[in-house]
Amino acid sequence: MKCISCGTDNNLRDRTENQGRCKNCGTPFAFEPTAMPVNQRFTDVAFQKLLNDLSANDRVYFTKNQLFYALAKRVRKTGITTVGQFWVGYIGFLIPLTFFVILPLLSLELQTGIFIVLLVYNIIWFIYLWLRSQSLNLLRRERLVQARAIRNLGIVLMLIGLGAVWLQQAFFAILLWLTGMTAVGLGMWQARRIPNMMEASLPITPDLLDALLEKWQNAHGFPPKLLEKASFNDYFPIPGSDVTDYSFDRLVVCQSNDIAKMLIANNFHFEYNSGIVSIGGYPRTLFETVMTMAKRNPKLGVFVLHDCSPEGMLTLHRVKNDPNWFGGQDYLIVDVGISPRQILEAKRSVLVQSSEASMRASLRLEPAIRQSLAAAELQWLDVGNYVLLEFFSPPKIIQALSRSIYLGAQLSTMEDRESDLIILGDDDFYGMETFG
């Protein structure tokens, strides 16, 4: 294991003899992988890389929840996540099987042996895919890929059955066709079941993150870009009384106090001449001042940043309709939060969580909010699904918000424009929608 200070490689004996310190420079190691569970092992180098990726090499502040989800994504092992990957694996194992088993059997004219080998090979794949399609360690979208691969596997079996018919192997033809049709049917049945199954369970817990952070802090100090949880006691300098004579171009309203604190810590308000507040009134010492300044600008753009959850839908509704916010007033309001439609239409996997509390909150939403959502969106929310904004890294959120501000300015004269997904990376997406 390498030391993060000097890069010296220390084996287990070195670490043991030096009481958990680097044999070269004496820097303590935060983690001892051999003493950790197999699926939760971390090295100092791996954890430092996680912090560097999340903070863009110590340039960006991030929240504890963002660290939690980044850690969960690193720990979670997915395996096959696309049908294309299934075909790569299927053909990849079939090639050596063909050279070392099937071709020798063919040279000996043992047709029966060939069909037995192919049947067993495909049954092994079926069992593997079926177990994965049931696994709560995979996202529903990833489980759906396994179900589709099972269906494809069934088609392959039926094609092999046609070969058995051509070679006049009636028994194997019938067996392969029955097995293939069963696989196709089970794959289609499983694909219909998966949307109603529980979402993936997280591979780590908040307690584990706390334990890792404590070890890291004892060895290397507190991560410099990790923000403490937002509190109404957070101190912000109070500007002079004449500041309310001025305004800014836009206001960002966050559902989460922590997201608001993250944006402020990263100086987003300076970069984009924006006020930043949360729907709950954070930051408390500046909230009234910021709102007064915001409403002085008749051309103010309001950007609402929220989770994909009942509370997120309520946040957007309040900003648009509550007179204490911008209800009944002629301001451009841009939804830059995550909507259920975006989750349902996304081509990339994203961590969807479920809870009874979220289900109850969805069923209690005001009729006006429920009527603004499509039937599929309501169904998705009503079973307790939600996606937190903090699943995305700070650079991704800032990038999406920056682009939304640019697009919002371009669309300022358009009403009720449908949102377009903004692809941000291999597994991240974002979108926006304008109102008024």
Q: What is the pTM of this model?
A: 0.76
**What is the per-residue pLDDT across 114-155, written as a single tens digit (0 to 9) for each?**
889 999 999 999 999 999 888 877 777 788 899 999 999 999
pLDDT of residue 200: 64
Reported as a single tens digit per residue, the pLDDT across 23-53 is 999 999 999 988 887 777 889 999 999 999 9
What is d(CA 27, CA 13) in angstroms, rounded to the nearest whole number? 16
Tens-digit pLDDT profile for residues 100-117: 998 888 887 788 888 899
Average pLDDT, the chain: 86
Q: Is the dihedral of CA 135, 138, 140, 145 positive or negative?
A: negative
**Confidence (pLDDT) at 408:** 62
Kindly report the three-state secondary structure assignment for every residue of 9-72.
ECCHHHHHHCCCECCCCCCECCCCHHHCCHHHCCCHHHHHHHHHHHCCCCCCCECHHHHHHHHH
Count H helices, E strands: the chain? 18, 9
Question: Looking at the predicted structure, is the pLDDT value of residue 424 above 70?
Answer: no
Domain ranges for the chain, please list them: 12-74, 83-196, 241-435
Rama region for 49: left / alpha / beta (φ>0; ψ in -120 to 50; rest): alpha
Residue closest to 223 by CA, chosen among 61, 432, 348, 38:
61
Residue 103: count of CB within 10 angstroms of its CB: 12
Q: Which helix (H) or strand (E) is 435 found in, with range?
A: strand 433-435
328-353 pLDDT, tens digit per residue, is 888 889 898 999 988 888 766 677 88
Averaged over 296-310, what is the pLDDT?
92
252 strand-pairing partners: 276, 303
What is the average pLDDT across 69-75?
A: 85
pLDDT value at position 311?
A: 97
Distance (Å, whole) CA 115 – CA 5: 58
Structure confidence by residue, pLDDT tens digits, 203-212: 788 898 999 9
DSSP 129-170: HHHHHH-TTS-HHHHHHHHHHHHHHHHHHHHHHHHHHHTT-H
CA distance 295 to 305: 19
Q: Are 359 and 310 in contact (CB under 8 A)?
A: no
* Res. 186: pLDDT tops 50: yes
Residue 362 pLDDT > 90: yes
- For the segment 53-80, the average pLDDT, to the nearest whole number, is 86
CATH architecture of 241-435: 3-Layer(aba) Sandwich (3.40)
**Cα distance between residue 229 and residue 117, in whole Å:** 58
pLDDT recorded at residue 175? 93
C-alpha–C-alpha distance, residues 64 and 324, integer Å? 31
413 pLDDT tier (thresholds 50, 70, 90): very low
Summarised one tens digit per residue, pLDDT across range 217-263 is 999 999 999 999 999 888 777 666 666 667 888 999 999 999 999 99
CB-based burial of residue 332 (10 Å sphere; 0-12 exposed, 13-18 middle, 19+ buried)?
A: buried
- Is 45 in contact with 10 (CB distance < 8 Å)? no
Please compute, for residue 389, the number of CA atoms within 13 A of its CA located in the half-sphere on the CB side: 30
